[in-house]
Chain A
Amino acid sequence: MISLTDIKKGLLVSLWFVFLTFPLMVIKINPIDKVILWRWSNMYWVAGGSFLCYLAMQIYKTRKLTRQEHIKQGLIKEKPKMQFKLLSDPKIYLPTLAVAGLFFLAFPLLFSTYQTNIMITALMYVVLGLGLNIVVGVAGLLDLGYVAFYAVGAYSYALLHLHFGLGFWEVLPIGGLLAASFGILLGFPVLRLRGDYLAIVTLGFGEIIRLILENWNEFSHGPSGISNIPRPGFFGIHLGLEQSITYLYYLMILMVIFTIFVVNRLQSSRIGRAWFALREDEIACQAMGIDKTKTKLTAFALGAFWAGMVGVIFAAKTTFVNPASFTFLESAIILCIVVLGGMGSIIGVIIAALILILLPEYLRAFSDYRMLVFGAVLVIMMVFRPQGIVANIRRTYTVQKND
């Protein structure tokens, strides 16, 4: 199974790793005693570890290849993929769904307020991911400035409360609609652009919104932000801090369910099909009679709508907004969620959002190596599943033969 060349290559790889990590892992300078510590044992660990990793990867690859060969020759049947089984067999997915539902419903009762708070953030990213999924995953319009709509939502709550005393429930739809109109505003100038060019313009748009918020003191109170934003009210009853977090948690659960419902229906509709077609081939899409302008604008608007709503919830959760919450990094994370989850897949985006937001929190056990492990997980995911956690699954139709 392992040939000599594999071992040779493995040695070369481990040599490379030793060379690359040498300054970091082996040399340690103690500036107080002015001595250099040579930690040679680390070098052996790196060499051995990378060598074994390489061999394991090689074995995995050859096994996969031989299996594919066998399938081609008809020796063994292709097993239905795990994810298809999970998603298509009701015997499997209904219990899974029920367990997941119960877990999420009972979450605040089982875990501390701190954990619940983290989960609220994760759920917010689920909705953000699903929103961006419409634009990037389904319609294929690479948007690097999605956080701008999130900011529009958050600031619309902050400002409308500050100036007009509007409450959470009134602003929630307003924030969504305002973000959607900003989506259309962005959509118009970028109608002709695709791919990289579109990405650059949307990136600029995101930065413009952030810089306006940062510098227009009279309007947005600049970098110092707006504080004392009230939490969502519960039929006029005053809630304590813990209660209001639990309340917000269930609110977020409802929001996620609502989003899944809407996004799912949109995707499997005539409009959703037009979005997919737009992603696949813009010229053919137009030649089939689809209005490119309308389709792109609805995608931008409906994608931005969710960011606006989550923005309002974000402002209500933290009770404080300032421009520092809406940097490019946020857009990048949301985009990561969509790509990692699988373009256009709802369940994939949900899983990816939970992984990407919860993982760094639970990796705190590794303290210093937290971000390193996080990065490694991302790289490994993309190497082994470039199509995302759940790859493109299309709706199938059963055909009745009328003989």
Chain B
Amino acid sequence: MEPLLNITGLTMNFGGIRALDNLDLRVREGQIVALIGPNGAGKTTFFNCLTGIYKPTSGDLLLTPPGKKTRRLNGLKPNKVTQQGLARTFQNIRLFPNMTVLENVMIGRHCRTRAKVLGALFRNAGTVQEEQEIVALSLMILENMGLADMVNEFAKNLPYGDQRRLEIGRALATDPLLLLLDEPAAGMNPQETSELEELITTIRDDGLSILLIEHDMKLVMNLSDYIFVLDYGKKIAEGTPEEIRNNPAVIKAYLGEDIEDA
């Protein structure tokens, strides 16, 4: 079977610097796949290429929704990529700070709804119904995220952990096939991290596939079905958590190697 996301030969140059070098990566349906690597390895660049913020120099990004034809994602604008079914969160939280929690999630429904200017002016039955559906669905998502008590709070007033969860909720509102999480556990305490672990598992069990960038090795090893390791823009290893744990190249990239003849 075709993998949900199939990336072949992805290369990204910034001037003379090669941030990503001939990367191959696959995400199968219903998997949690992790992308790890030391700082500056190119993980976030990879996300930015995938979501259309950067245009990759070469390579193919192919998305195959279950039961449908394969689509190429390269060269699409970020909003089109989201429409195709990839939703992301950001390494440094990027909520809409001066909008309420509910509105933040409602924004996620934008690409799945179609009310236009005239609909907004005349509030015809279709528009009103669509608006009600947006609110209902957003509330449901917030309920699942455990944020139902603060729907009318400004997003900027939320505690850090809740902001992270709200960002995931907002991404879920776009009805994604694949959820891209950029360091979701960054800055969280162990308690919050374990809650997050639970949340991600629930999302996967609901049928979504997840691609995860993370530094918290415990979280990665617990959650992932498959791991890709990047260093200096190159893929240095891939495999199950067990294989990665014992891979000498990965250990070398993270810890350095012994000096031979000292």
Contact = CB atoms under 8 A, between A and B. Distances in A.
B121 A262 contact: yes
B51 to A, nearest CB: 6
B152 interface: yes
Interface in A236-292: 262, 265-266, 269-274, 276-277, 280-281, 283-292
B120 A265 contact: yes
A66 interface: no
Interface stretch (B32-40, B62-70, B94-102, B196-204): B94-102
B131 to A, nearest CB: 7
B94 to A, nearest CB: 4
B82 interface: yes
A274 B103 contact: no
Interface stretch (A68-76, A162-170, A375-383, A394-402): A394-402
Contacts of B135: 397
A289 B96 contact: no
A228 interface: no
B117 A273 contact: no
A392 interface: yes
Interface string B71-102: 00000011100110001101000111111101
A271 B96 contact: no
Nearest to B100: A394
A291 B151 CA distance: 25
Interface stretch (B7-15, B108-116, B187-195, B214-222): B108-116
Interface residues of B, number: 46
Contacts of B148: 399, 401
Contact of A270 (B94, B113, B152): B113
Nearest to B102: A397
Q: In this complex, which of A266, A269, A287 has the most chain B Cβ atoms within 10 angstroms of its Cβ?
A: A287
Given A270-B115, A288-B170, A280 B79 contact: no
Contacts of A302: 117
A403 B241 CA distance: 41
Interface string A336-352: 00000000000000000
A133 interface: no
Given A276-B96, A394-B100, A399-B139, A270 B79 contact: no
Contact of B96 (A269, A272, A281): A281
Nearest to A267: B120
Contact of A281 (B95, B130, B152): B95
A255 to B, nearest CB: 16
Contact of B82 (A262, A277, A288): A288
Q: In this complex, which of B53, B98, B111 has the most chain A Cβ atoms within 10 angstroms of its Cβ?
A: B98
A50 interface: no
Contacts of A399: 139, 148, 151
Looking at chain A's contact residues, the main secondary structure is helix
A14 to B, nearest CB: 39
Interface in A135-156: none
A58 to B, nearest CB: 29
Contacts of A271: 115-117, 120
A298 interface: yes
Contact of B98 (A265, A298, A392): A392
Nearest to B51: A287
B95 to A, nearest CB: 7
Interface residues of A, number: 32
A398 B130 CA distance: 18
A287 B52 CA distance: 9
B245 interface: no
A274 B115 CA distance: 12
Contacts of A288: 79, 82, 87, 107-108, 110-111, 170-171, 174
Contacts of B154: 394
Nearest to B104: A277
A50 B102 CA distance: 47
Contacts of A292: 77, 79
A396 to B, nearest CB: 4
B119 interface: yes
B79 to A, nearest CB: 5
B4 interface: no
A287 B134 CA distance: 18
B78 A280 contact: no
A266 B151 CA distance: 22
A233 B146 CA distance: 61
B208 interface: no
B49 to A, nearest CB: 13
Nearest to A392: B98
B89 to A, nearest CB: 9
A314 to B, nearest CB: 25
Contacts of B170: 288
A401 B95 CA distance: 26
Interface in A358-403: 392, 394-397, 399, 401
19 contacts: A265-B121, A273-B99, A277-B110, A281-B95, A284-B95, A287-B88, A287-B90, A287-B94, A288-B107, A288-B170, A289-B82, A289-B108, A289-B110, A392-B98, A394-B154, A395-B100, A395-B103, A399-B148, A399-B151
Q: Which 3 A-B pairs give the minimum distances between C-beta atoms?
A: A289-B111, A269-B120, A289-B82
Interface of B: 51, 53, 77-79, 82-83, 87-88, 90, 94-100, 102-103, 106-108, 110-113, 115-117, 119-121, 123, 127, 130-131, 134-135, 139, 148, 151-152, 154, 170-171, 174
Interface of A: 262, 265-266, 269-274, 276-277, 280-281, 283-292, 298, 302, 392, 394-397, 399, 401
Given A265-B121, A397-B139, 4 more contacts: A270-B120, A276-B98, A283-B94, A290-B107
